[in-house]
Amino acid sequence: MLSTIGIVFGAWQAKHCAAIRFGYAAAYAYAAVVFLAVIVCAVGLLLAIYWRTRWIGAGLVAAGLLSCTSFYGGMALLLRLDRVAWRHEPPLAALGPDQKAGLVIYFRHGTTDEQIEEFQKQRPSFVSEYLRLLPSQANGHDAVALTFSENARPDQVRWYIEKVERDGRVEKTYRDVAPTAIQP
């Protein structure tokens, strides 16, 4: 019974690990599998000492070993079938003042940091990246650069830009340009 539970648990851990999107996080799952197997085996060995719990101890040792074996076997199969998400990590996105942004917003002189942070908190969900620019990167202005997600609808983006341009804190906006490419 405990052996079967160990096999099922190892297979479940392999399925969970294969769904992780980033490889560095999957390394933690591998470490957790080994750690849990060692703990279960240690408890099983302690229980195997006493004659009344010897069978439970042996079952726990088997469950620990089989869960680890089932995990590694399941991961090998999923890797061979190309069903592991972290093997297809999304590409790194470049973000900086020299990268093209969907919208660059210059704030009026005298706008406080608190007001700019308040502006940041009101951003919609389709803004995928938000970069606060230093005045040296934005021609002496406090500014932010926004990038919109690919699945943002054009009418949503248009509505948001119109809302930003009506905001009293905003002096000027620029569309589809790198912040460092904006001339004073």
| C-alpha span between 170 and 110 (Å, rounded) | 11
Contact (Cβ atoms closer than 8 angstroms) between residue 11 and residue 74: yes
The 10s digit of each residue's pLDDT in 106-134 is 999 888 888 888 888 888 888 888 888 88
The 10s digit of each residue's pLDDT in 46-96 is 999 988 989 999 999 999 999 999 999 999 999 999 999 888 766 655 556
The 10s digit of each residue's pLDDT in 14-33 is 999 999 888 888 899 999 99
Fold adopted by 101-181: Alpha-Beta Plaits (3.30.70)
